[in-house]
A and B are shown apart, each in its own frame.
Chain A
C-alpha cells in the first residue's frame, strides 16, 4: 500500500490520511476581493508532477502535515511547509 511520511508518526498507510490538496491559505476575510475568494474556493492547482500538499492524519496524530507528492508516480517526500 502507498505510504505517506508523517513527521510525527513515521511512514503510515495512505488510508489513514485525508487529502486536502495543494497548499492554499485562506484569504483575510475583510480585505479579500471577490477574485481572491474565487481563486481560493475554486482554482486549485492540478499539476501532473511534483506538488506540495496538505494531508490530515485523521487516523493517527490528527495533525495537518505537508507532503511533496509527484501526482504522476505518487512518490512522496516530506514537504517544505511546517
Chain B
C-alpha cells in the first residue's frame, strides 16, 4: 500500500508489544447465555441480540487475519482476550466457517505419533474441555472415546508405538484386543471370518466429537464481543510488501494498511502466501465425507480403520457420519464423487455389515492443505509481519484452540512459543520433519 502512514517503525507495527502477560483482559461484553436468560427469552418471546455485526472496512488495522475459519477466529479471540490487541480484522471471501471448519467430521483427539505432535494436540484437547465456559457457548464436546483399528501386524505395531509415545506424555491411550472392542462396539464384526479381521485397536478414551459449527460461532461471538471486526464476503486479492515487510492488504472491498498479516486460509493457503512472495510445501486436495439418515443411538465411540480408509461416528441427532482418506489428486473443486461413495459404502460394510440398509442423506467435500509430513506450518516467515498458520490437512479442526492460542502469543510477543517451535516453515530446509502420517492420514 502506497498511501502515507502505512509503514511505521518495526516496534509500533508489532501489536501489543510489551504486553506479554497471558492474563485474560476482559470478558465478552455480550449478554451471557444462561438457562435463566433462555427461560426469560422463552417467556417474553424477545429476540436474541445479533451475535456479530457488519462493519465498514477501516483503512487500518493492527492485525489482519485472512480466513474466517476456526483458526483465524481463534487467533483473533486469543489476541483480543489475552494480549490486549483489539484492532483486528478477520477477512473471509465467503462466510464464517464456510471452509473446512464447517465441513469437517469434528473428531478431536490427541493420540498422535510424535512427541511434538502429542504435546501440541493434547493442549488443544485440554482447551476444548473448557471451551464451553471459556466462550460461554455450548460446543457439545462429547468425549466418547476413539478407536483406531489394526487389521494387520504392521498396523498393530504402529498402535503400540503410538500408545507408548502417548503414555509418556500423560495421554490416556492403550492397545486393546478384539474382545474389548466388541464390548465397546457390539455392532462391529470382530470375528476372525471378517474380510479384514480386527487384531486390536488403539483406544483413546478422551477423544470424541464436537459440534464444529458451535466452535466456530463461539469463537466468532467472543471475538466480536471484544471488538474484533469480522468481515465476510471480503476477498483478499493482494498483499503489499515493501523492503521485506508487510505493509497492507488489498481486498474486494478496499485496501487496508497493516503491519501484521496472518494467513489462516487452509486449502487456499498457497495462493495467499504467494501474494506475499512466500513459497510453502503445501498442496490442496479435497476430502469428502457423508452422512446417513438418523437412527436410534447405537454407536457411542468413534471408529477408525486406516486399512479400510474409513471412519464412522454417530451424531447426537443419530446420523452416522462417515469419512475417508483425502482424494487421490490435488484439486480446488468441492464436488463430491460417486467413486467416493461407492468405496466408502463397501468399506463401511466390511466393518459393520448391519448397516447395509441405511441410506445416505448427503455427501460433501472440503479443501485440505496437505504438507509432506502431515504436520502444520506455523509461525513467522521470511517476510516480516507475515505469519502463517496453515498445513492443517485433514486434521486441523482439533488443533484450532491451541493454534489460536500459540499464534496469538507468537504475534503479540514476536517470539515463537515452544509448543509450536517444531512446526516452522524452515524445517523443510533443515530436514527436521515432524512425521505424523502414521497417525493422521485417515484418522484425521
Contacts and interface: CB of A to CB of B under 8 A. Distances in A.
Which DSSP category, helix, strand, loop or mixed, fits chain B's interface? loop
Nearest to A20: B329
A42 B337 contact: no
A30 B428 CA distance: 21
Contacts of B428: 38, 41-42
A72 B268 CA distance: 12
Nearest to B269: A46
A1 B340 CA distance: 11
Interface string B260-295: 000000001011000000011111100000000000
B330 A48 contact: no
A43 interface: yes
A74 B283 CA distance: 15
B195 interface: no
B338 A46 contact: no
Contacts of A21: 283, 330
Interface string B402-426: 0000000000000000000000000
Contacts of B330: 19, 21, 46, 71
A72 B332 CA distance: 5
Given A44-B281, A46-B330, A15 B339 contact: yes
B438 interface: no
Contacts of B268: 48
A2 B327 CA distance: 13
A14 B327 CA distance: 12
Contacts of A15: 339
Contacts of B429: 38
Contacts of B328: 18-19
B372 interface: yes
Contact of B270 (A19, A38, A41, A46): A46
Nearest to A48: B332
Contacts of A73: 333
Contacts of B283: 21, 44, 46
Nearest to B279: A43
A43 B333 contact: no
Nearest to A34: B429
A41 B372 CA distance: 9
A2 B270 CA distance: 25
B331 interface: yes
Contacts of B282: 46
A34 to B, nearest CB: 8
Interface in A1-36: 1-2, 14-15, 18-19, 21
B329 A19 contact: yes
20 contacts: A1-B337, A1-B338, A14-B329, A15-B339, A19-B328, A19-B329, A19-B330, A21-B283, A21-B330, A41-B372, A43-B281, A44-B283, A48-B268, A48-B271, A71-B333, A72-B331, A72-B333, A73-B333, A74-B331, A74-B335
Interface of B: 268, 270-271, 279-284, 328-333, 335, 337-339, 372, 428-429
Interface of A: 1-2, 14-15, 18-19, 21, 38, 41-44, 46-48, 71-74
